[in-house]
Amino acid sequence: MNRVLRLFTPAIPAVFAVGFFVSFANWIPQTRWAPPKKLTLTADLAPAELARAGATIVRERGCMACHTMEPGVGVKGGGRGPNLDGIGARRAQGAAGAAANAADYLVQSLYEPGAHLVEGYPNIMPPAIGAPAKLGYEEVTAVVNYLQSLGGTASVKIGELPKPPGSGAAATAVPAPAPAAPAAAGGAQLLTDMGCAACHAPAPGQQAIGPALDAGSLRTAAGERRMSPEAYLIESIVDPAAFQREGFPAGLMPADYGTKLTAAQLKSLVDYLLGEAGT
């Protein structure tokens, strides 16, 4: 017995040390950010469940960069886009000149925002099925249910709404998106034309008033803000006050680009800055 103990005694501190590090590693909070998991939206979900998923989608895909949720003020809130609070009640009968019920009206305003403009607003909303939000058909259904639930009742199941224009057989009906390469050239040109280059340097390390607009640091900032890079960029451009980058002056970047840029211009800026124009 004594001989066995003598044999093991030198190993005891090592065993303790290993044990300590294992428990320490488990104790460190696992805070590293992972991109939001794709929601699984299946045909058996009830409209109310879809509406809950839709609330998350609207928050995470950049819709609130333009829209607001302000009780009691009607369509006109303080945002670049209409106030979404109460939209389910307000659009229960759709709108004159557009679809005559809430679900059809709402789905059209996501597929083709420019087809029927809400009075008093410019045509700046990018179709929700394209960049940056890139909603799939099931996600569109979830968002429509969520919007209906704001003042009304969620009512549609997956499969009941029309498919996006251009999906399946009707491919010719897609409003042709601008070809990628010219859009990128447009992005570079816009940085000059819209005065962005006066404050932003194109590459990291160059001295400028605002942060360098390189794809790498934009993606990092988007991660910190827990948004997709595309949604983060749109937010930064149309609502600079929403998120303050440390080490840069607040309130300096003009807050009215949202009304000056069209959806197509916003898209070419985002594509260009994220370097995705050619892909």
User: What is the C-alpha separation between 143 and 125, in angstroms, rounded?
Assistant: 16
Q: Does 199 bind ligand HEC (CB under 6 A)?
A: yes
Q: Does 48 bind ligand HEC (CB under 6 A)?
A: no
Q: Does 147 bind ligand HEC (CB under 6 A)?
A: yes
Q: Does 248 bind ligand HEC (CB under 6 A)?
A: yes
Q: Does 117 bind ligand HEC (CB under 6 A)?
A: yes
Stretch that binds ligand HEC, among 15-23, 45-53, 156-164, 207-215 (CB under 6 A): 207-215
Q: Does 55 bind ligand HEC (CB under 6 A)?
A: no
Q: Does 73 bind ligand HEC (CB under 6 A)?
A: no
Nearest distance from residue 156's CB to ligand HEC, in Å? 14
* Interface pick for ligand HEC out of 47, 77, 88, 113 (rule CB under 6 A): 113
* Interface pick for ligand HEC out of 69, 217, 219, 226 (rule CB under 6 A): 217
Instruction: Give me 3's structure tokens.
Output: 């001989």
Q: Does 88 bind ligand HEC (CB under 6 A)?
A: no
Under the rule (CB under 6 A), what is the footprint of ligand HEC?
58, 61-63, 65-67, 75, 80-82, 87, 91, 106, 109-110, 113-114, 117-118, 121-125, 128, 133, 143, 147, 194-196, 198-200, 209-211, 213, 217-218, 221, 233-234, 236-238, 240, 244-245, 248-250, 252-254, 257-258, 269
